[in-house]
Amino acid sequence: MDKPTPGDLVALEALIEDWLARAQDAADKALNLSRIGASRAEFYRGQADAYRRAAAELRALLADESGEDQAAPVEYAQVSLDTAQTVLKLAGLSAAELRAHPDRTFSILFLPLQFRSVGEVSEMLMDVADVDILDSGRLLDTNKSFVDFAFKSPPV
């Protein structure tokens, strides 16, 4: 993705403000119970949450772009890709792909045929190594399951 221009940033900031205004409007409606009823209030609470969430996500994206609010990276153990592959084999997991990242974290993408939940996979991994599970879920483009992890200490 191209870096946003100053004009883009102004437009995106305006969009955030618009969403926050809509969130406030929906929140105000939700408070007006006597007119809309309590069940309808939940609907407007949902709208307010969705606008706030969208605004927060866009703001975080813009902060990432400009390098703001970067927390100090956690130091994980340096482990080679080969060693990480061995750990996966020990765990009984066949990974379609293992990716190493510069911050010493790893991503595993699992074969679509693997009939296991992400929770099970995470447990199997933690059984054989001292790891932090950093994230898990599915990739939006392929729906493949992924688990991001890092070694808190080098595997024995």
Partner 1 sequence: MSEPILNPTLNLARQLAGQFAIRADQADRKGELPPEDVRALLESGYLTLSIPRVYGGQELSLRECTAAQLELAQGSAASALVAAMQLHVFGSARENRPWPEAAFERLCRIATDGGLINAVASEPALGSPSRGGAFATTAAPHPDGWRINGQKTWITGGKHLTHLLVKLNIEDDPAAVLVPNHAPGMVWIETWRQSLSLRASDSHDVCFDDVIVPFDHLLERGAHPERPPDAWFVILVASVYLGAALAARDAVIAYALERVPTALGRPIATLPSIQRQIGEIDLALQNARSFLLEAAAGWGGDADTRRRWFPRIVAAKVLATETAASVTEKALRIAGGAGITHALPLERFFRDTRAGLMHPPSGDAALEMIGKYAIEQAKGDADG
Give contact residues for partner 1 (rule: CB under 8 A).
Answer: 22, 26, 37-40, 42-51, 54, 112-115, 117-120, 137-138, 140, 142-145
Smallest distance from the beta carbon of 148 to partner 1, in angstroms? 15
The residue among 14 and 81 lying less far from partner 1, judged by its C-beta, is 14
d(CA 32, CA 25): 11
- In angstroms, the CA 128 to CA 58 distance is 38
CA distance 30 to 36: 8
The least distance separating partner 1 from the CB of residue 73, rounded to whole angstroms, comes to 26
Nearest approach in angstroms of CB 29 to partner 1 is 10
* Strand 105-110 with 95-100, pairing: antiparallel
User: Between 55 and 131, whose beta carbon lies closer to partner 1?
Assistant: 55
Residue 26 beta carbon to partner 1: minimum distance, rounded to whole angstroms: 7
Report the C-alpha gap between 122 and 108 in whole angstroms.
11
Nearer of residues 45 and 104 to partner 1, judged by Cβ: 45
Residue nearer to partner 1 on the CB measure, 84 or 93: 93
Please identify, using beta-carbon distances, which residue of 77 and 134 lies nearer to partner 1.
134
Minimum CB distance to partner 1, residue 5 (Å) = 24
User: In which residue are the tokens 């927390």 written?
Assistant: 71
